[in-house]
Structure 1
Amino acid sequence: MTSQEDRPAGVFLAFEGGEGAGKSTQVARLEAWLTAQGRTVRTTREPGATVIGGTVRQLLLDPSTVGLSSRAEALLYAADRAQHVHEVVRPALEAGDVVVTDRFVDSSLAYQGAGRTIPLEDVRSISSWATGGLLPDLTVLLDLPPETGLARARGRATADRLEAESLEFHLRVRQTFLELAAAEPARYLVLDATAAPDEVAEGIRTRVTELLA
């Protein structure tokens, strides 16, 4: 297994949060700002950043997918992540790029671990194996009440398999994200996702400036 210490020279940023937290919006804003600073940026997402991952994403999120066990779901996310790291993330880091991903390991810990009530250490173990131990330099957690986020998400389109889960499920997801951030405050930036997008973006830029310095 490749250790975190062996990771290439690029900078790895991850965005996490519940449904409707505004991750895609902030990833795009950060990409534009970093590009204007002269940085080479690779934005990506989970699941579905690769051709193989696209097939996995459809299976995982399509509301018509029925009968998928919690363990099978966790393994499918790990499989998508393994391909993602192999094909997209690690090559970009080796090239010295700034890699910005919409979701990474913490989403599995929150959704499959807490949401599906699989022991977190089991999910952490398979995720670590899938990524070769790779972790982001900074994880931006966009936090908001699930009621608010679900209303945003469901107002945009038909709910996917995860968005359609119960409020209790999403409350567990939020709590686990916050606990993960509290356990490693130096590696996380937690922002109130109910704030204006400009305010959130400014908070992100401030922290990323410090990191890149």
Structure 2
Amino acid sequence: MTRGRFIVFDGVEGSGKSTQLPLVADWIATTRAAPLVTREPGGTPLAEQMRSLCLQDHQEELPKTAELLMMFAARSVHLNNRILPALAAGQWVLCDRFVDASYAYQGAGQGLQGSDIAQLETLVVGPHQPDCVFIFDLPIAMLMERVKSRGQADRFDRADAEFHKRVRATYLERAQQQPMRYVVIDASASIQTITRTICKELEARFAG
């Protein structure tokens, strides 16, 4: 059986990743079996509990290192219990965020060392890297406007513009370093334009 494809949608807050996931999933389902649509942190009942701990406010301080470890603990559960079995069964996987988010948010955003994140990536993810990563990008002013227009905001939504600038810069830097695996998406375009761009890219890369 042919292994499924592992596709990640990642990028800055308010960029429309969650809107695009079901649209692209519907397109994939027209030519093959419906893909698994999942998210990080989360994706399984246990990992979703970890997500709540990571994103909600606490009465005591959550150390940055603890946050990083929790993200990778949730990722380990998600990867082993849901993503890898689906890929082994030949199913495509569309995931809202993956390891790049740790470099952007816990690394650039929170100030943790990239080398420490890389060690955890090797331990938890190993060779199971995505086949393609779409980085959704927005200018900071538009990003902040979209975040403010949301309803209930989590800790990352409430971060200041400088935090989001560092996050955005890291995403773009990682995409530039591996242009064969990353695709930067102009998230200021229309929903229909973005969907067409993603589907065209997937067709070109993984036709057949």
Asked if TM exceeds 0.5, the reply is yes
Structure 1 residues 8-27: aligned runs within 5 Å: 9-27=3-21
Identify unmatched segments of 5+ residues in structure 1: 1-7
What is the DSSP-based 3-state SS (H/G/I as helix, E as strand, rest coil) of the residue aligned with 2:36?
Answer: strand
Moved over 2 A (4+): 63-66
Pairwise CA distance, 1:124:
1.9
Structure 1 residues 62-101: aligned runs within 5 Å: 62-64=56-58, 66-101=60-95
TM-score by length of 2: 0.95
Pairwise CA distance, 1:155:
1.4
Tell whether 2:173 aligns with 1:182: no
Is the alpha carbon distance of 1:75 and 1:65 closer, same or farther for their aligned partners in structure 2, counting shifts above 3 Å? Answer: farther
RMSD: 1.3
Kept in 2, the 8 Å contact 1:19–1:146? The answer is no
Alpha-carbon deviations, 1:115-154, whole Å to 9, x = none? 1111112112202311233111000011002332232133
CA distance in 2, matches of 1:161, 1:197: 26
TM-score by length of 1: 0.92
| Structure 1 counterpart of 2:31, from 13, 33, 37 | 37
Identify unmatched segments of 5+ residues in structure 2: none
Kept in 2, the 8 Å contact 1:44–1:100? The answer is yes
Range that drifts further, 157-166 or 87-96: 157-166
Is the alpha carbon distance of 1:66 and 1:173 closer, same or farther for their aligned partners in structure 2, counting shifts above 3 Å? Answer: farther
Kept in 2, the 8 Å contact 1:59–1:65? The answer is no
What is the DSSP-based 3-state SS (H/G/I as helix, E as strand, rest coil) of the residue aligned with 1:139?
Answer: strand
Range that drifts further, 13-22 or 147-156: 147-156
Range that drifts further, 124-133 or 26-35: 124-133
CA distance in 2, matches of 1:148, 1:69: 30
| Structure 1 counterpart of 2:161, from 153, 167, 172 | 167
Is the alpha carbon distance of 1:137 and 1:205 closer, same or farther for their aligned partners in structure 2, counting shifts above 3 Å? Answer: same
What is the DSSP-based 3-state SS (H/G/I as helix, E as strand, rest coil) of the residue aligned with 1:202?
Answer: helix
| Structure 1 counterpart of 2:96, from 102, 122, 128 | 102
2:54 aligns to what?
60
CA distance in 2, matches of 1:161, 1:189: 27
Pairwise CA distance, 1:66:
4.3
Tell whether 2:152 aligns with 1:158: yes
1:202 aligns to what?
196
Matched residue pairs, number? Answer: 206
Range that drifts further, 122-131 or 12-21: 122-131
| Structure 2 counterpart of 1:132, from 121, 126, 134 | 126
For 2:62, the aligned partner's letter is L
Range that drifts further, 172-181 or 51-60: 51-60
| Structure 2 counterpart of 1:145, from 136, 139, 160 | 139
Alpha-carbon deviations, 1:150-195, whole Å to 9, x = none? 3213312121011111211110000000000000000011111001
